Amino acid sequence: MNNIKGVGSETDLKLQTIKRSMLIIQVMLVILVMAPGYLILNSSYLAWKKKEEDRKSVLGKLEEEKKRKQENDALWQAPVIDSTTMGKDEYALINYGRELITNTAFYLGPKGKVAALTNGMNCQNCHLDAGSRPWGNNYGAVYATYPKYRARSGSEEDINRRINDCMERSLNGKALALDSREMQALKAYIEFIGSSVHKGEKPQGSGIYELPYPEKALDTLMGKTVYTEKCVSCHQLNGEGIKDAGGIVYTYPPLWGPHSYNEGAGLFRISRFAGYVIFNMPQGATFLHPQLTQEEAWNVAAYVNSQPRPKLDLSKDWPVMSEKPVDHPFGPYADPFPESQHKYGPYQPIKDFYKNKKKG
Ligand code: HEC
Ligand code: HEC
């Protein structure tokens, strides 16, 4: 019995081993057959998925471009000076105003034909296309919004006063007499440029673009790199720009140094500078085709405005301390933040401080 049983279990064992081997072979066969199929399926699925993603991202990009183009088309556009629809004197005055803005140095610069009042820059160096380019620091909203209260002077300012602000600060010069033909012409031109804008309105595309605040403090070293790579060819290593062969007008205007805007000028505020360059510099950049990232615009603004430039007595500016803009770099302030943070950020905590103060 025992023997038979022994033999029987031996055969059983063999049978079991064979069965197990068969099973393993079967499983291996299944894997061998399935694996390539799976791999093929999987890779074609992945390829399809990638194609689908690419298609979506192209669509997304097209959609984004379309939106931006629509946005661009809706930006404020300046009217064209048309001699046939104006009186002769009106036309002459407006045209002279335009001429003064494009060729300021020729009339009012250090060797000016009319008077020597300014540093040699043109209004147009900062108010592009004679103050008519969308987001090019244009005059679109001026006629519609002046006279208005301005916190910098703490008083109501009319257009004449605002023009003289730029004469004394951006052009680091002297004011124009209010009754001069030059002042009348500048005013007439600026009013003409804004003549289609409703009173009190500030159309999209007028003035300077408001960039969102960056989260971190700005980095002047990174700004210097941007400057070296994207600005230096025109504005030069020492920031002094290049004059044309005649030596009267700048081909490339200065960004710092004795002939640049002074510390009281709008561009000396880093948010104004960054908002100006983002869609205008390097020359050729536009709203549709910017050439700087927002971060680059902020950092290059910080770098340029950390360089030396003419000073101005600012003791009468911002008479109401709490109305100083967040990025005005000179104290005293109605808040606990240091000058360095006002200049280079982060700006949001300062903004929040005043918001909470108002609420509380
Ligand atoms: C160095 C650059 C620069 C130059 C040169 C310059 N400006 Fe300005 N101007 C600015 C900046 C910056 C502002 C402020 C824009 C802002 O804060 O949104 C400004 C504002 C103005 C405004 C008010 C705009 C508004 O919407 O409130 C007028 C008007 C003006 N400038 C006229 C002139 C005239 C006229 C000249 C030439 C005589 C001139 N500017 C030269 C930079 C300049
Ligand atoms: C290809 C030449 C060129 C390059 C590169 C260039 N700019 Fe300009 N920039 C100009 C010209 C030209 C003007 C004056 C525009 C006008 O008069 O129409 C100007 C004007 C300016 C102004 C206002 C006027 C002033 O002098 O204050 C600022 C600010 C400025 N550029 C900043 C920059 C910055 C920052 C960069 C680099 C990111 C840059 N630019 C790169 C040619 C250039």
Complete domains list, the chain, with CATH: 80-207 (1.10.760.10), 208-360 (1.10.760.10)
Q: Check whether 26 has a pLDDT greater than 70.
A: yes
Host H or E run for residue 245: none
Q: Which token pair is 79?
A: 């009217």
Which atom of ligand 2 is the closest one to the Cα of 261? Answer: 27
pLDDT tens per residue, range 287-331: 999 999 999 999 999 999 999 999 999 999 999 999 999 999 999
- Ligand 1, CB within 6 Å, residue ranges: 101, 104, 121, 123, 125-127, 137, 139, 141-142, 162-163, 166-167, 170-171, 186, 190, 207-208, 261, 265-267, 272
pLDDT tens per residue, range 209-224: 999 999 999 999 999 9
Give the count of alpha carbons within 13 A of 266, CB side only.
20
Q: Which DSSP letter does residue 239 get?
A: S
Q: What are phi and psi of 242, to 5 degrees?
A: -135, 130
308 touches 256 (CB < 8 A): yes
Q: What are phi and psi of 4, to 5 degrees?
A: -60, -45
Q: What are phi and psi of 243, to 5 degrees?
A: -85, 160
> What is the pLDDT at residue 205?
98
Q: What are phi and psi of 10, to 5 degrees?
A: -65, -45
Ligand 1 center to 260 CA (angstroms): 14
| Amino acid identity at 208 | I
Which atom of ligand 2 is the closest one to the Cα of 292? Answer: 38
CA-nearest residue, atom 39 of ligand 1: 123
Substitution site in 234, 242, 249, 269 for ligand 2 pocket (most atoms within 8 Å of beta carbon): 234
Residue 108's closest CA among 188, 163, 189? 163
Confidence of residue 11 (pLDDT cuts 50, 70, 90): confident
Confidence of residue 4 (pLDDT cuts 50, 70, 90): low
Ligand 2 center to 223 CA (angstroms): 15
What is the overall mean pLDDT for the chain? 95
Q: Which residues pair with 155 in a beta bridge?
A: 150
Which atom of ligand 1 is the closest one to the Cα of 275? Answer: 18
> What is the pLDDT at residue 6?
53
Cβ neighbours around 236 below 10 Å, total:
15
CA distance 118 to 137: 20
Q: From the DSSP assignment, how many helices (H) and strands (E) are in the chain?
A: 14, 4
Give the count of alpha carbons within 13 A of 119, CB side only.
25
| Residue of higher predicted confidence among 15 and 259 | 259
218 touches 301 (CB < 8 A): yes
Substitution site in 124, 231, 295 for ligand 2 pocket (most atoms within 8 Å of beta carbon): 231
What is the average pLDDT across 197-216? 97
pLDDT tens per residue, range 134-183: 999 999 999 999 999 999 999 999 999 999 999 999 999 999 999 999 99
> What is the pLDDT at residue 360?
75
